[in-house]
Amino acid sequence: MTPRRKRLLAVVAILVGVGAATALAMRAFDDNLLYFYNPTQVLAGDAPQGRTFRIGGMVTEGSLKRTEGTLAVQFVVTDYRHSVPVRYEGLLPDLFREGQGVIAHGHLTPSGEFVADEVLAKHDENYMPPEVAESLHQPTPARVTP
């Protein structure tokens, strides 16, 4: 084999190796992405089935139910258009309460219930993740003055 052919073979081998490494890295990156969806998108079927994702919105007033003697809780997340029931077993953040913004990480069951592995509450009264704020944007009702 001539030196020129050896160099060409080495360059081709390096390009194939770099391409394979890039393809593996991109696949691993895609598997670890967590997409955010609001309840309207989840009910429209935009959320991935059989894959973890984040759902965000407001905890509906009066929807929080605790199972006595366990850490299991159920509540409903809404974007004021649609609602999705959420089930979680574990300690809730101190700032978690009804009427507050929340983001839950988990998966959707075939019955339409979201099973959360982690629940995050809005950390102060002024901050809201941009995705949640955008999905909760609702027109303010017109004021009627007498």
Note the pLDDT of residue 129.
Answer: 61
- Ordered mean pLDDT values, 10 residues apiece, the chain (146 residues): 89 93 85 80 85 89 90 92 93 87 91 91 63 60 44
pLDDT of residue 143: 45
Query: pTM of the predicted model, to two decimals?
Result: 0.66
pLDDT for residue 47: 82
Region of residue 45 (phi > 0: left; psi between -120 and 50: alpha; otherwise: beta): left
Tell me what pLDDT residue 29 has: 76
Please provide the DSSP assignment of 33-101 as one string: ---EE-HHHHHTT-SPTTS-EEEEEEEPTT--EE-TTSSEEEEEEE-SS-EEEEEEESPPPTT--TTSE
